[in-house]
């Protein structure tokens, strides 16, 4: 029996048709995965379903829930009908505590009408405990990392007791252990009669948790598969409209002399006072090498890179570039020395959402594009088009808004901005987070091409399989320091996880 039917759903943004007569059916007691490349229309479809995008003149089609035709003007309307969505972008009130965020909008009341704070605290602790999370719910969520904030978002959805749960890239910030726990929670909810729609670019997760898969491409239905018919290669081909013969392209290269050396880096913990997240960390990278920085979430991977780049202060430590000691106090110094950093959150630190594509690409070289403080727009257009072509950035026009692009193309815009600075060393923090398999393959090719040209690349990724495939060598972070080093020919997933856990 169908719990939900979406029939011939179409949606326009201006003259752009983003959904074109899409059909989706969700059965009772089912976990349905909706897959597709960036820009396929998955999130738009779900935001129509949950009322984030009001059903208006730009929409058409039917939404049938429990046999009744429904249309929602707000997310609150959908929530009252039993539809709750966990968004890819963390949307918490950062200065409120965890308990307040979990119960926001549905605070229990005492007999006198005031908020029953004891029930709020106890309820928040109980729902988080069911997710395997043990935190002080009185602490402002700003104090937690992205992984913990995502867990709070999940708890907020579950406390509303939904009949239909929509999860949009719910594990993008989670560790492997947290992901396994979430998968079990979804199975438990299904046993309790709650159906789920699951959106993810992580195909292994989808094939594990989903009962059925619906694939969208270019805003239209492409195909659908029952569990017994799941085939990874065919699913990927349906998602991107072509086959990928070599997901992780291999390049023969000769590693040259040392490009960067880090000695005895100590970095303060971002949330815990009088504590260091990294102590006496040391590693090096050669020219043309791709180095994987492996560690569990919270191991200090990002903080170490940010401190080297000058984005956050260090307590101590030395940086040597091509054998010469360099003092880096701010990112502008790092860029001048040929060191670039692509951050893990492109929407927070990588792009300026109010600017267009060209402006985001050329942001780091404005001085080079101006004379007497007057911009040379002809040169700006030419260099933007040049990098857009070399990185295969897909857009309708170079002057379109950056937010009109898919996640993969936004990532390539940020990368092009860095490459315009003519870097020697590039830090990539979660470079493929939130982008589809086709865009991932293109990013891998770009990384290989840059390394082949002699650039040194340090990568942080929570997808261990990705790290093992594209890196030449690995430095393992554990217990607040660089624990050990592994070469390509000796590394295995088991060895890395063992070292990351501090068990070796």
How far apart CA 314 and CA 277 sit, in angstroms, is: 11
* Residue length of the chain: 504
165, 197 Cβ separation under 8 angstroms: yes
Residue 245 lies in a domain: no
Tell which of 180, 209, 240 closes a domain: 240
Which secondary-structure segment (H or E) carries 188?
Answer: helix 176-191
Q: For residues 103 and 159, is the Cβ–Cβ distance under 8 A?
A: yes
In this structure, is residue 18 part of a structural domain? yes
Return d(Cα 217, Cα 284) in angstroms, integer: 43
Residue 249 lies in a domain: no
* Distances from the Cα of 171 to the Cα of 176, 199, 215, 226, 230, angstroms: 9, 10, 19, 23, 21
Least confident residue range of 61-75, 239-253, 290-304, 323-337: 239-253
CA 222 from chain center: how many Å? 25
Taking the CA atoms of 119, 121, 126 and 131 in sequence, report the sign of the dihedral they define.
positive
278 and 320 together in one domain: yes
Does residue 454 belong to any structural domain of this protein?
Answer: yes
Q: How far is CA 160 from the centre of its chain?
A: 25
pLDDT tens per residue, range 161-212 = 899 999 988 887 777 777 887 888 888 888 888 899 999 888 888 999 999 9
Please report which helix (H) or strand (E) contains residue 281, including its range: strand 276-286
Rounded-to-integer distance, Cα 208 and Cα 205, Å = 5
**Taking 90 as the threshold, does the pLDDT of residue 426 lie above it?**
yes
Domain boundary among 181, 207, 240: 240
Q: Say which residue, 103 or 253, is predicted with more confidence.
A: 103
Q: Does residue 221 sit in the same domain as residue 262?
A: no
Name which residue leads in pLDDT, 304 or 252. Answer: 304
Q: In this predicted structure, what is the pLDDT of residue 502?
A: 67
The pLDDT score that the predictor gives to residue 251 is 66
Verdict on whether the full-model pTM lies above 0.75: no
pLDDT of residue 63: 94
265 plus 200 within the same structural domain: no
State the pLDDT at residue 283.
Answer: 95
Whether residue 273 sits in one domain with residue 214:
no
Report if residue 456 sits inside a domain: yes
End-of-domain residue from the set 213, 240, 267: 240
The average pLDDT across 423-449 equals 86
Alpha helices (H) in 270-330, listed in sequence order: 301-309
- Would you say residue 278 lies in a domain? yes
Distance CA 38, CA 459 (A): 22
Asked if the structure places residue 248 within a domain, the reply is no
CATH of the domain at 12: 3.40.50.300
Predicted confidence (pLDDT) at residue 400 exceeds the cutoff of 80: yes
In the chain, how many domains are there? 2
Do 227 and 176 lie in a common domain?
A: yes
Whether 144 and 220 map to the same domain: the answer is: yes
State whether 118 and 262 are in the same domain.
no
Write the burial class of residue 447 (CB in 10 Å: 0-12 exposed, 13-18 middle, 19+ buried). buried
Q: Identify whether residues 188 and 70 lie together within a single domain.
A: yes
Residues 382 and 476 reside in one and the same domain: yes
Percent of the residues in the chain that have a pLDDT greater than 70, as a whole number: 97
The reply to whether 342 and 446 lie within a common domain is yes
- Verify that 271 and 350 share a domain, yes or no: yes
* Mean pLDDT of the chain, nearest integer: 88
**Is 252 within the bounds of a domain?**
no
pLDDT of residue 503: 61
Closest Cα partner for 318 from 284, 275, 274?
284
Task: Tell me: do 233 and 301 sit in the same domain.
Answer: no
Cα gap 98→141, rounded to integer Å: 6
Structural domain boundaries, residue 390: 258-500
Higher pLDDT, 41 or 146: 41
Q: What does the pLDDT average to over 387-402?
A: 86
Is residue 167 within 8 Å of 179, Cβ to Cβ?
Answer: no
Structure tokens at 353: 């959402």
């Amino acid at each position: 029996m169908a719990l939900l039917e979406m029939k011939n759903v179409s949606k326009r943004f201006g003259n752009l048709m983003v959904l074109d007569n899409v059909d989706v059916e969700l059965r009772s007691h089912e976990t349905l995965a909706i897959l597709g490349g960036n820009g396929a229309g998955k999130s738009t479809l779900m935001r129509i379903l949950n009322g984030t995008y009001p059903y208006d003149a730009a929409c058409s089609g039917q939404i049938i829930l429990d046999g009744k035709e429904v249309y929602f003007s707000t997310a609150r309307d959908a929530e009252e009908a039993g539809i709750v969505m966990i968004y890819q972008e963390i949307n918490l009130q950062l200065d409120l505590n965890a308990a307040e965020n979990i119960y926001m909008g549905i605070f229990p009341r005492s007999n006198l009408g005031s908020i029953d704070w004891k029930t709020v605290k106890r309820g928040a602790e109980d729902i988080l405990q069911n997710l395997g999370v043990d935190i002080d719910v009185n602490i402002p969520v700003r104090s937690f990392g992205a992984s913990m904030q995502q867990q709070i978002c999940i708890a907020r959805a579950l406390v509303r007791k939904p009949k239909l749960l929509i999860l949009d890239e719910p594990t993008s910030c989670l560790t492997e252990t947290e992901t396994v726990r979430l998968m079990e929670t979804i199975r438990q909810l299904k046993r309790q009669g709650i159906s789920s729609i699951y959106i993810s670019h992580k195909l292994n997760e989808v094939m594990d948790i989903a009962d059925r898969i619906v694939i969208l491409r270019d805003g239209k239905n492409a195909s659908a598969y029952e569990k017994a018919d799941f085939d990874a290669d065919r699913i990927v081909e349906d998602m991107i409209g072509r086959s990928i013969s070599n997901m992780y392209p291999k390049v023969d290269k000769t590693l040259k002399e040392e490009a960067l050396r880090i000695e005895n880096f100590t970095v303060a913990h971002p949330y815990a006072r009088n504590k260091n997240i990294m102590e006496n960390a040391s590693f090096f990278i050669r020219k043309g090498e791709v180095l994987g920085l492996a560690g569990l979430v919270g191991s200090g991977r990002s903080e170490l890179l940010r401190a080297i780049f000058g984005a956050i202060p260090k307590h101590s430590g030395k940086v040597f570039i091509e054998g010469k000691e360099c003092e880096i106090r701010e990112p502008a110094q790092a860029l001048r020395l040929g060191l670039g950093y692509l951050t893990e959150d492109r929407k927070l630190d990588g792009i300026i959402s109010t600017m267009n594509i060209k402006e985001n690409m050329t942001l780091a070289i404005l001085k080079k594009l101006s004379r007497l403080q007057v911009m040379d727009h002809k040169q700006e257009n030419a260099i933007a088009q040049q990098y857009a072509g070399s990185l295969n950035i897909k857009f309708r026009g170079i002057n379109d808004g950056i937010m009109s692009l898919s996640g993969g193309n936004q990532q390539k815009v940020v990368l092009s901005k860095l490459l315009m600075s003519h870097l020697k060393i590039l830090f990539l923090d979660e470079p493929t987070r939130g982008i589809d398999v086709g865009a991932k393959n293109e990013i891998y090719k770009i990384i290989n091409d840059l390394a082949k040209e002699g650039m040194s690349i340090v990568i942080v990724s929570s997808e261990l399989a990705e790290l093992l495939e594209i890196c030449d060598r690995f430095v393992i972070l554990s217990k607040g320091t660089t624990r050990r080093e592994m070469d390509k020919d000796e590394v295995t997933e088991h060895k890395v996880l063992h070292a990351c856990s501090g068990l070796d």
